[in-house]
């Protein structure tokens, strides 16, 4: 019996595609929020986020962007700040069997909140 049959037989491929993206998004948030960052380290932190999350099961691709304007607005006198959820614009692309999902976090102005949500899901 393979892992998929043993542990995921009680959910659909659609549910698992969302599950894998969502738990990866939660890991991202709790692992990286609070990380010291500045203009010079922004790109390397985006790459670290991308490369580490792409190791997770069912993750095909990660698009990781840190909002430079929000980062600049919070720089301290020491020229760095702590990464916060409102700086993140991340898309996690998952694929399970014939289902692809995109799980996203982005700052939503009207909510004044970094919202995590299912941006897209499709069956191939």
Full residue range of the structural domain in which residue 105 is found: 11-123
Residue 71 inside a domain? The answer is yes
Statement: residue 100 has pLDDT above 80: yes
Q: How many CB atoms sit inside 10 A of residue 102's CB?
A: 19
- Identify whether 63 is part of a domain: yes
- pLDDT for position 1: 64
In angstroms, rounded to a whole number, what is the distance separating the alpha carbons of residues 28 and 105? Answer: 10
Q: Are 91 and 65 in contact (CB under 8 A)?
A: no
> Does residue 22 lie within any of the structural domains?
yes
Is 2 within the bounds of a domain? no
- State percent of the chain over pLDDT 90: 94
Q: Report the pLDDT averaged over residues 43-68.
A: 97
- Measured CA to CA, the distance from residue 26 to residue 4 in angstroms comes to 22
53 near 62, Cβ under 8 Å?
yes
Query: Does residue 64 lie in a domain region?
Result: yes
Residue 123 β-bridge partners: 99
Report, as an integer, the average pLDDT of 89-114.
98
Let me know if residue 39 belongs to a domain.
Answer: yes
Q: How many independent structural domains does the chain possess?
A: 1
Q: Are 117 and 97 in contact (CB under 8 A)?
A: no
**What digits encode the pLDDT tens for the residues 18-53?**
999 999 999 999 999 999 999 999 999 999 999 999
CATH number of the domain bearing residue 57: 3.30.1300.20
Is 61 domain-assigned?
A: yes
4 lies in a domain? no
């Amino acid at each position: 019996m393979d892992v998929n049959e043993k542990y995921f037989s009680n959910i659909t491929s659609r549910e698992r595609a969302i599950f894998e993206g969502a738990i990866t998004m939660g890991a991202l948030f709790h692992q990286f929020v609070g990380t010291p960052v500045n203009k010079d380290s922004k790109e390397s932190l985006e790459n670290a986020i991308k490369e580490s999350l792409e190791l997770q099961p069912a993750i095909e691709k990660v698009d990781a962007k840190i909002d430079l304007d929000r980062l600049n607005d919070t720089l301290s006198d020491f020229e760095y700040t702590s990464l916060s959820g409102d700086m993140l614009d991340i898309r996690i692309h998952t694929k399970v069997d014939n289902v692809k999902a995109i799980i996203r976090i982005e700052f939503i102005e009207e909510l004044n909140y970094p919202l995590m949500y299912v941006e897209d899901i499709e069956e191939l």
